[in-house]
Amino acid sequence: MTTNALFSIPESSGHDMVTIAFEGRNLTVPAGISVAAALLSNGVSDFRSSVVGQAPRAPYCMMGACFECLVEINEFPARQSCLISVQDGMRVRRQLGASAINIKDEL
Amino acid sequence: MTVEIADLVIVGSGPTGMAAACEARSLGLSVLMLDEQAAVGGQIYRGIEVASLPRTNILGDDYAAGRELAANFRVSGATHLGGAVVWNLSSDGTVDYVINGKSRKVTGRFVLIATGAMERPFPIDGWTLPGVMGAGAAQILLKSAGAIPTGSVVLAGCGPLLYLLAWQYFRAGIEIRAFVDTTSPSAYLRATRHIGGALRGWRDLVKGLKLRTALRQSGAAWYTGCSNFSVQGNGRAEGLAFSHRGCAVRIPASLVLLHQGVVPNTQLSWSIGAAHRWSPEQLCWEPVTDAWGRIGEAVIYVAGDSRAIVGARASAIQGRLTALEIGKQLGVASDIERRLAVLQRELRQHLHIRSFLDVLYRPLDEFRIPGRDDVIVCRCEEVTAGQIREYVELGCLGPNQTKAFGRCGMGLCQGRFCGLTVTEIISSARGVGPADIGYYRVRPPIKPVLLSELME
Ligand code: FES
């Protein structure tokens, strides 16, 4: 669901900008910000659906601890979007339901 | 896989890590710093090297103070690896981390855990809805991206960070729909018993009072002594309901920012099997260390907020102290006792106000131990407070055993956002103190690692 953005970035003029694609929609955002900040300031109000109840979720901590900001980036699942900076040409999608990643099984 | 070696490997680039690196470099030690974020600063000085002047002005002097530290760090000769996610630490000083999609290893003759703090979980009805986030998270958005709320915003809870964010939003010209303060009049009364310490740390006290005065003048609706929170909304936050002086109040808001203090980020210290103590003052776990932050006999130290919450300036001093102590172990430091003594005196200055703050902003029981059975405690696996109480009735004794009953604490966050709550729910249900209830057993990897990242 994309709606009115919860955040805006008023001082973006004068910054280098990059363009990322969120589910096919191009977003032009200041270079250097996190993917989570880019989505939150562009009307993306849910990032993933929860594993059990498929409820919408969005970033809670912005510092890598809660894992609520998980998205798919360039086809890699379950990326923490609050820890990753935007790069020109990045392709971002919501993380729907359980990802292929299981912290215990993976190693 | 090539293994690098450094005298000191530091995990985390906040005030503790940067100050420790500067001190260690001044002793001639080789220093490698690993940090999840691309740039240095940690959360408190997030974006410090790139924040524009207007943004820095909005954020205030305490934030701007990070610039000098970051600049000193940059010229210190320490190696900084940003975007490095540490997933394993061994007590021999070996650190595994992922950078640019590849796992790497480094061995530190000593390792400093400087992973700082995280916001205390705030488990209330509706806290998983999009549009609800930590006040600290919103502050990170402001620091790192200059992002400000666009719609109706409510700040709720207690603690210095919540007041600071309100003041920063006020300076940025953002109207706060309501400030919903959980601090009760009786907390002020209790805190006055610690006023002696607060007065000795009078600079901090004056700063706090100035913040509050500015907020009063901002004209934002300010409710104090509030309780009984519930975030309302269908698929997203639409408002916050609460009790105020016996009345039910509902404030519409698209953004609800919650905060009730910060707690040490202990994931790494737990993962190496370190002993932790329950702090009855700060209501959280703290790794057991010697006076310098050393964990047992290991080559691993922990300093700053990841040892116990002390704030940014005290954290930086602890970082320096730890680096000096490590220098002493390595036999490189001269004149060290004098330097340690000077820093310790400085450290005490910054700690005076702590007990006053701990008492004044002690999070309410109802916001740590949800009374309602339907409140989600484990956000990842959607386990409720009621389910955990059922587990206890069925004989569950502690957090580790909850995993035998369901998947509580087994999601990707590995208990970071439910662990404290689970300990305290079980503690209150069983009538046994948190220290005897214990915590989850945290095992590496402490961050998910892809198979492709492990391949050469
Ligand atoms: S928002 Fe919490 S991990 Fe990214």
Q: If pLDDT is split at 50, 70 and 90, which confidence band does B189 have?
A: confident
Measure Cα distances from B266 to B45, B421, B428 in Å. 20, 15, 23
A104 in a structural domain: no
Total count of domains within chain A: 1
pLDDT over 70 (residue A107): no
The residue length of chain B stands at 456
Residues B365-390: tens digit of each pLDDT: 999 999 999 999 999 999 999 999 99
Q: Higher confidence at residue B311 or residue B1?
A: B311
A6 in a structural domain: no
What is the CATH architecture assignment of B3-118+263-333? 3-Layer(bba) Sandwich (3.50)
- Kindly give the distance from the C-alpha atom of residue B119 to the centroid of ligand 1, in angstroms, as a whole number: 12
Nearest to B129 by CA among B1, B38, B229: B229
A106 in a structural domain: no
CA distance B151 to chain A (A): 6
The per-residue pLDDT for A100 is 55
Task: Report the pLDDT averaged over residues B430-440.
Answer: 97
- Contact A11/B145, CB-based, under 8 Å? no
Element (H, E) at B209: helix B202-218
What is the CATH architecture assignment of B121-260? 3-Layer(bba) Sandwich (3.50)
A35 in a structural domain: yes
Nearest to B179 by CA among B122, B80, B256, B71: B256
Instruction: State whether the Cα torsion B307-B311-B316-B318 is positive or negative.
Output: negative
The per-residue pLDDT for B214 is 81
Helix/strand/coil for B72: helix
Cα(B28)–Cα(B23) distance, integer angstroms: 9
Cα(B273)–Cα(B289) distance, integer angstroms: 13
Residues B11-37: tens digit of each pLDDT: 999 999 999 999 999 999 999 999 999
- Give me the CATH number covering residue A75: 3.10.20.440
pLDDT over 50 (residue B420): yes
Q: Is A11 on the interface with B (CB under 8 A)?
A: yes
CATH 1.10.10.1100 fits B369-437, yes or no: yes
ipTM here: 0.95
Q: Residue A103 is nearest to which of B128, B145, B448, comparing CB atoms?
A: B448
Helix/strand/coil for B373: coil
A4 in a structural domain: no
Interface test with A, best of B58, B85, B132, B133 (most A CBs within 10 A): B133
Give me B400's structure tokens.
Answer: 């580790």
CA distance A92 to chain B (A): 17
Q: Phi/psi class of residue B392: alpha, beta or left (left: φ > 0; alpha: ψ in -120 to 50)? A: alpha
Q: What is the dihedral of CA B166, B170, B175, B178, to 10 degrees?
A: 30
pTM for this prediction: 0.95
Strand partners of residue B125: B230
Cα(B130)–Cα(B283) distance, integer angstroms: 27
Strand partners of residue B158: B260
The per-residue pLDDT for A50 is 92
CA distance A8 to chain B (A): 5
- Say if residues A11 and A56 touch (Cβ distance below 8 Å): no
At residue B57, φ and ψ (nearest 5 deg) are: -65, -40
Q: Higher confidence at residue B453 or residue B345?
A: B345
Task: Report the pLDDT averaged over residues B105-130.
Answer: 98
Give me A101's structure tokens.
Answer: 């990643």
Task: Report the pLDDT averaged over residues B142-169.
Answer: 95
Computed over every residue of chain B, the mean pLDDT equals 94
A27 in a structural domain: yes
Task: Determine the residue type at B23.
Answer: E
Residues B65-93: tens digit of each pLDDT: 999 999 999 999 999 999 999 999 999 99
Helix/strand/coil for B112: strand
Q: If pLDDT is split at 50, 70 and 90, which confidence band does A30 have?
A: very high
Q: Do domains B121-260 and B369-437 have the same CATH topology?
A: no
Contacts with A, B 227-246, CB within 8 Å = 235-236
The per-residue pLDDT for B302 is 98
Cα(B314)–Cα(B323) distance, integer angstroms: 14
The per-residue pLDDT for A1 is 47
Cα(B190)–Cα(B187) distance, integer angstroms: 5
Q: Which residues contact B156 (CB under 8 A, 6 or more apart)?
A: B162, B179, B180, B181, B182, B226, B229, B240, B242, B256, B257, B258, B259
Domain that holds residue A56: 17-96
The per-residue pLDDT for B241 is 98
Cα(B39)–Cα(B128) distance, integer angstroms: 29
Element (H, E) at B7: strand B3-11
Give the start-to-end residue ranges of the domains of chain B: 3-118+263-333, 121-260, 369-437
The per-residue pLDDT for B2 is 54
Give me B188's structure tokens.
Answer: 């002020």
The per-residue pLDDT for A32 is 93
The per-residue pLDDT for B3 is 63
Q: Is A17 on the interface with B (CB under 8 A)?
A: no
User: Parallel, antiparallel, or unpaired for β A17-22 and A91-94?
Assistant: parallel
Q: What is the dihedral of CA B301, B304, B307, B308, to 10 degrees?
A: 160
**Buried b / exposed e along A55-64 (16+ C-beta atoms within 10 A):** bbbbbbbbbb
